[in-house]
Structure 1
């Protein structure tokens, strides 16, 4: 995207934590070392109560990172990083122009992005008798659960990942079937 001779290059990446986000910002700096600015914002977790950061990278305060962040938040996205690299074209855009340019850059990349709904998951360890294993496997299959690991010894020890919304129902099943449940 080019605005008044300034070129804006936008990156959108899924991220899980701050370290991953910062590594991607560093990749942008290495890929475009002669760029004037590498401004970014990220949002991790639930958009209403998430961990977030933004950076103007030398642009006037509040004119780059905050507009990028606002677009991410407005779109209801999370676990994403948007980096906007700017090559200054010689024409000053002013504070309002910068806000509009960085917001437009973020808006354009987020509009093209494939959205994937994330369902919060729980990982637990279950210990049971051999007779309960099939019942638990059936429960997992019916509740979008995934058996990640099983070991057999005196009892069956299963590691199960499933949507957090089903935790109460699993606890009831475990109590009724005398299955020990442990959360890591």
Structure 2
């Protein structure tokens, strides 16, 4: 089971260059599902309706299974666009990532090798501009804290490397804590010291957490 991976920050990255009068405009974005990835292609077609090709590739994480990998040459000679783009995405190590390369043909044929090189470089150079985030599986626990002490205890939890991923306010402040799998003893020890043993954390499963 995969417990961590990198993905693009949730913002569209664009890159453009020209080879023998052909324009190659690359879009790279996060895609958390196959539907989102295909939506990026649709947006590219709408933004550049007069382009000759809208080639694409994407890799989407699937829980407890192999990632979904798809690519399209969109009219370019078979294997010269989508597959090279996909190989670059795979080489990046990222998941939940989609790329579209929009090509305006400049009148000069690039040949099979030239096309592979152009589409490879298009995505490679765009990926250099992508900011990355990391998704990791964290254990969760909840703890009820008195309102008057919650701020101080929260600071001590954060100081110990324990993340706060949710707070609900009622008669007590219920904190949802996230921490590395197997670190329940750290949570217990930190709470015991901060609350003099008056508060205990209750296990609450696991969740994917996105880190900056």
Q: Shorter-chain TM-score: which interval?
A: 0.7 to 0.9
Structure 2 residue 119 is matched with structure 1 residue 102: yes
2:205 alignment partner in structure 1: 183
Q: Give unpaired runs (5+ residues) of structure 2.
A: 1-16, 193-198, 207-212
Please report the TM-score for the alignment, with normalisation by the length of structure 2. 0.68
Specify the alignment match of 1:149 in structure 2.
167
Q: Structure 2: how far apart are the matches of 1:171 and 1:7?
A: 57
Structure-2 residue corresponding to 1:9 = 25
Rounded to whole Å, the distance in 2 between the matches of 1:34 and 1:84 is: 14
Compare the two structures and name the one with the higher helix fraction. Answer: 1
Q: What corresponds to 2:77 in structure 1?
A: 60
Aligned partner of 1:169 among 167, 172, 183: 183
Give the equivalent residue in structure 2 for 1:34: 50
Structure 2 equivalent of residue 118 of structure 1: 134
RMSD: 3.2
TM-score of the aligned structures, taking structure 1 as reference length: 0.76
Query: What secondary structure sits across from 1:118 in the alignment?
Result: strand
* Per-residue deviation, 1:101: 1.1
CA distance in 1, matches of 2:145, 2:27: 50
Instruction: Give per-residue Cα distances to partners, 1:27-53, cap 9 Å, x unaligned.
Output: 11000001111111122349xx53322
Work out the number of aligned pairs and report it. 177
Distance, in Å, in 2 between the alignment partners of 1:19 and 1:125 is 33
Higher strand share: 2
